[in-house]
Amino acid sequence: MAHEISMTNGRPSIAYFGETPWHRLGTKLDAPATAQEAIVAAGLDYEATLQPIQTNLGTAVPQRKAVVRSDTGVVLGVVGNSYVPVQNQQAFSFLDSVVGDGSLGYHTAGALGTGERVWILAKLPSDIRLKDSEDVTEKFLLLINSHDGGSALRVFFTPIRVVCANTLGAVTDRCVAPVGRYWHVKADIFQIERIIPFYPFSRDRAKLSILLKPLALYRLTFGQPRQVELVDHLLTNIPESRIAAIRSKLMINLSPILYQRPQNRA
């Protein structure tokens, strides 16, 4: 399989820190990048825009839209009307928001094809060392997004350093399921549901425990569409000194009910 790195005006859309990739393409970084630095260095500072479609005879196709790359005008894919692009800036900043402790350093980023598939790879702070061995396995957090309607935004934990279509495919083929998804639909209501699973893997474990049980109760009472309002309220308006008391009151006991046996009467 070829590397499939996107080329724009003769420039390969990839940036990397550390070892030069096997295809020897891309912009070499002097240090691990921020999300914004990775976007610029890899040439991913474009947007996926939605444009109406019509036939050669000028007949409109109202059920479908074309996803067009803003800087080159290339059509990246054809999607339904419910599809909403997740822009590169938004997608890459997503990892910053879910980890939130500044510990991520981005080692590679790039685009495949004509820019319809993008990725960014972050190095996690700690490595895995095998017992009684000098072998060390690096840990990465990989975000993959598409602009052609082919897949959701997905995030994987992986020991594989992604630098091309081959290595990207190795991650998606080996992983049973990603640790998170974000579908391309008009639904800000999905944001919290997609972010919460990442908290156990970050250093913000306290935030996870604060959110989960009130969120479950709130969804039972008001339904999913208003859960974002609850989380925003919990994180911005409730003092930390009150959180433990509120959490204990909202805790739902799902253990079996213990019935007392009637005592024998003499």
Q: Provide the residue ranges of all domains of the chain, joining segments of one domain with +.
A: 7-182, 204-250
What tokens were used for 25? 């393409």
Assessment of whether the complete model's pTM goes beyond 0.85: no
- Write the DSSP string, 166-204: HHHHHHHHH-SS-SEEE-SBS-GGGHHHHHGGGGGGSS-
pLDDT score for 24? 94
Please check whether residue 75 is in contact with residue 67, taking contact to mean a CB–CB distance below 8 angstroms: yes
Q: How many CB atoms lie within 10 A of CB 93?
A: 16
pLDDT score for 204? 47
pLDDT score for 229? 60
pLDDT score for 261? 46
Profile the chain (266 residues) by mean pLDDT over runs of 10 residues. 88 94 94 88 94 90 93 93 86 67 79 95 69 65 89 84 93 68 48 45 51 57 54 67 70 50 50
Residue 226 has φ and ψ, to the nearest 5°, of -105, 10
What residues does 112 pair with on adjacent strands? 5, 117
pLDDT score for 258? 47
Please check whether residue 94 is in contact with residue 182, taking contact to mean a CB–CB distance below 8 angstroms: yes
Each residue of 115-155: pLDDT tens digit?
999 999 988 776 555 555 556 567 888 899 999 988 878 88
Angle at 105 between CA 101 and CA 108, to 5 degrees: 145
Distance CA 261, CA 265 (A): 12
Please check whether residue 80 is in contact with residue 67, taking contact to mean a CB–CB distance below 8 angstroms: no
Please check whether residue 135 is in contact with residue 89, taking contact to mean a CB–CB distance below 8 angstroms: no
3-state SS class at 215 = helix
